[in-house]
Amino acid sequence: MSRKLLGVKHIGVLFALMFVAACASSEATNTGGSDIVPGSAADLEQNIGNRVYFALDSYSLDSAARAQLQRQAQWMQQWPSTTVRIEGNCDERGTREYNLALGDRRASAVRDYLVSQGVDGSRVETISFGKDAPTCGESTEGCWAQNRNGTTALTGGGVGS
C-alpha cells in the first residue's frame, strides 16, 4: 500500500521535472538561438541582462546586480563602439519629485559601477524617470520590486542598430 503511494508520488515528481525541463529548453530555443545577433540590443537584453534591481528606498547594488553589471561591462568592452543610457526607475510607493532624485541615484550607481569596471564614462549617460516609467503595472509587491531598477538601454554602436 505504502509502496504504491510512494510510486505515485515519484511519478508526480518526475512529471514536474519533465515539465520544468521542457520549459527551460523551450526558453533556450526562444532566447539563445541564432536569431539573436551578437552585439545587438537583443543580445544585451536577453543574453547579458540589462536590468538590475534595488531594494526599497535603496540605491546600493547587491551582489547579483554587481555580477550582472560586470557582464554588461565586459560586453561593452567586447563591442567598443556601443553607447548606453542607464534609466533609473522607482516603484509607485513614493512621491514623484523625491523618486526622480532616487531614480537619478540608482542610474548613477549603475553608471559608476560600469565605469569602475573599465567602461569609458563618455559611453554611459543616465536618465531618471522616477516612478513614471513602470514596466509592471500592478499594485503588488512583486511589481514594485520589478519597477525598482536600473535599466541599460543601447543608444548607439550596436550590431544591427
Interacting residues toward other proteins by CB under 8 A: 85, 92-98, 100-102, 104-105, 108-109, 112, 127-129, 132-140
Helix axis angle, 63-78 to 96-116, nearest 10°: 60
- Please state the closest distance from residue 161 (CB atom) to other proteins, in A: 16
- Please state the closest distance from residue 86 (CB atom) to other proteins, in A: 12
- Please state the closest distance from residue 46 (CB atom) to other proteins, in A: 19
Contact 148, 129 (CB under 8 A): no
Closer CB to other proteins, 9 or 120, in the complex: 120
Closer CB to other proteins, 27 or 132, in the complex: 132
CA distances (Å), origin 3, targets 7, 8, 16, 80:
6, 9, 20, 62
Question: From CA 5, how far away is CA 47, in angstroms rounded?
Answer: 43
Closer CB to other proteins, 57 or 120, in the complex: 57
Closer CB to other proteins, 48 or 100, in the complex: 100
Burial class (CB in 10 A: 0-12, 13-18, 19+), 51: middle
Determine how many CB atoms are found less than 10 A away from the CB of residue 10: 10
- Please state the closest distance from residue 130 (CB atom) to other proteins, in A: 8
In the block, which residue shows the cell 554602436? 157
